[in-house]
Structure 1
């Protein structure tokens, strides 16, 4: 059976309403998907894993979440010079320090190499919708298709409860019941991001709408609104990187950020998982954790840092002559490279200057596990979701596997469904 391209594969993922089972590059200028250049993303395959492995990754992720909760609180107390030192763009600092609604969710990426005894979280991704459906609904549906047990029966329930709790908290911050709030979901207008938002919206019990990012507007500095319907928005799920948004301009060439920031400060809009999530997005927060040292944390959290966090620094020499380097505001492997014994051993195939011209963070070099599939040895990365339980404690959600033909996971990596 062809795991990359077959009629059975197409039928399965279309029946799941997963419009991004293949990836198509977007034509610059028009925004139209180039379907003749599609590449496979979802594999027609289900990798069997032990339930204990899933439980262990989820438990480890919750321990990591406890550390990150503390780090988020610390970041909000740091002065501007310190935040600039750790790579936060100057335009984001007020928002990072202001946004008191704790992050709703995040995805952790793990090097979980049981054979080598390596279990390290390599980064946190609180501001992306990528790999969300796959870890929550997708694995379970593919597992059933292949006659395996679903990897986690509770992840949908966890998402629904925590999502609705967080929207109610947002409404409380606005001083009105959620039934009086207009809730909207938005993301980049592509199959994966907007498709994931359509899926996520189904878990919300309140009424909501969905719109592509380009239809967001600001009315005379008074409110955010949907340009199609002209209706105001009170609570927004905007899955779009803050570090991009601060540079965006309108059709007149004027920056959008100051007006949006002002609406947030005046409590005229609550954007879920926005400023607080961005506080944990820079890869440099792992360097901050290393710099804080074990003595800063409680015994339990210090044990988590020692066991699950790789040594990370803003200085390559502090790590040694073997490390992995990534841009502080890196995404999807862009600009990353590995140095082994003083020599570059592998470099990302994607090196956009926007990433490579950033300051870098350096992390101890880890050996990722390999998975033999379809006659190929692929690099395996685990993703694990965490949700705010309503009391600013992170609890585990779904997990999943991404596979890369190269050594660095990038935007062309495959989703490998799992079952038990």
Structure 2
């Protein structure tokens, strides 16, 4: 008799023992951002999908190759003119800061269509800014694999994360002409179980004192400093798990926009926000279209070969792709607003498509067939996530990886985590 992968005493005991407070999740109410706690649904599955070690190794190697392309592209993007960046969907308010922020991205998660049965191995998109699915790929897989008497897919993921995180915070402190031990380091996110829980977990990998707080407690003092409104303590180095495009539009309780004040602090070097504007340079879904539009001659021969091998054809023009494609908003996240067209007819679309995403310019990508996995007796669509970290010399090294699965064709923010082992 099968154990219920969605709701069983064994499942609750396992994920509670891992201190993973978001093994169940709540949908978020559109417009308010309030979690709908009465609609809690399972997220982490009581299951461990066995994967050949060769597959794990190949995804990691391919991810490092893609990371090299993205880091070369990052340097190109920051030197493009404003008009070009606007054409590729960068918000006008973000451009000055993207070009100013010289600290390279700290990390990113690549999403992959890794369909070995069909011979498809293509990176779908990159998520360098405000990434989720972090604990699961770094620590969670190891613990679940052990529970099911399987091997961890990767053994040193937490050491890789810790080394990179500490190096990046030290670099941020030097940018302010301070020692990292003299800086007030803070981690922040939206006040929900997954976001804030992940930040608490991430902060445990920083080797010195730090603070974790919900984002609503951040305040700006007269253009002089950012501070924690609960304690009055100023902040020097901030790791903010929050999208740039959301921050641009935020207002305070008096209706005043906050972006100008935050931008001013960054320009005056009163604060450094780790993995913020520099990472956002690679966040828009149009980046893959830009890589194709620039042409392979802009890339090293090694990186050009990687684009040919692993990047799906992507364009801002539907005509360039043809009548079979996947379309998504340039600033889309978690599948919002995406839809697939085959031979000119829509075949499936995201269940979550609020007006913020419907109004955006679209990017068109070669339609890929995602793999289907047998998960507890159900066939589900699978997307691989693979982590990369800055090694301190602005080269990206491979970290953890994992699988999100869905009963629909598009993995969204309520797709399940399916742990993996070897």
Q: Shorter-chain-normalised TM-score: which range?
A: over 0.9
The within-5 A match list for 1:85-104 is 85-104=87-106
Give ranges in structure 2 of 5+ residues lacking alignment.
none
Distance 1:252 1:35, change over 3 A: closer
Q: Which residue of 1 aligns with 2:274?
A: 272
The aligned residue for residue 407 of structure 2 is 405
Aligned to 1:77: 79
Give CA deviations for 1:244-294 in whole Å, capped at 9, x if unaligned: 110101111110000000000000000000000000000000000111122
* Aligned: 1:351 with 2:353: yes
Residues 335-414 of structure 1: pairs in structure 2 closer than 5 A: 335-414=337-416
Match of 1:197 in 2: 199
CA distance, structure 1, for counterparts of residue 356 and residue 317 of structure 2: 20
- Mapped contact 2:405–2:418 kept (Cα < 8 A): yes
Tell me the matched-pair count. Answer: 420
Residue aligning to 2:301? 299
Q: Residue 129 of structure 1 contacts residue 196 of structure 1 at CA under 8 Å; is this kept in 2?
A: no
TM, length-normalised to structure 2 = 0.98
Distance in structure 2 (CA, Å) of the matches to 1:28 and 1:331: 14
Correspondence for 2:4: 2
Q: Distance in 2 between matches of 1:293 and 1:33?
A: 44
2:273 and 2:95 map into 1 onto residues whose CA distance is: 16
Task: Say if 1:102 and 1:277, in contact at 8 Å, map to a contact too.
Answer: yes
Displacement of 1:164 in angstroms is 0.4
CA drift of 1:26 comes to 4.1
SS of aligned partner of 1:185? strand
Q: Which moved more, 1:367-376 or 1:103-112?
A: 367-376
Native 8 Å contact 2:47 2:375 kept in 1: no
> Match for residue 123 of structure 1?
125
* Cα root mean square deviation, aligned: 1.1
Answer with 34-43 or 182-191: which moved more: 34-43
- Native 8 Å contact 2:327 2:339 kept in 1: yes
Q: Are the structure 2 counterparts of residues 311 and 164 from structure 1 closer, same or farther at C-alpha, using a change threshold of 3 Å?
A: same
CA deviation map 1:108-154 (0-9, x unaligned): 00000111111000000011241000000000000011111111111
Shift of 1:375: 2.8
Aligned to 1:399, the other structure's residue is in SS state: strand
Query: What residue is the counterpart of 2:186 in the other structure?
Result: 184
Distance across 1 between alignment mates of 2:32 and 2:348: 34
Alpha-carbon contact 2:404-2:416 (below 8 Å) kept:
yes
Q: CA deviation at 1:33?
A: 3.9
**Contact 1:129–1:193 (CA<8 Å) still a contact in 2?**
no
1:30 CA drift (Å):
7.9
CA–CA separation in structure 2 for the residues paired with 1:117 and 1:199: 36
> Which shows bigger deviation, 181-190 or 23-32?
23-32
Q: 1:217 to 1:380 in 2, by over 3 A?
A: same
Provide the C-alpha distance between the structure 2 equivalents of 1:373 and 1:64, rounded to a whole number of angstroms. Answer: 29
Supply the distance in 1 between the matched residues of 2:126 and 2:27 (Cα, whole angstroms).
25
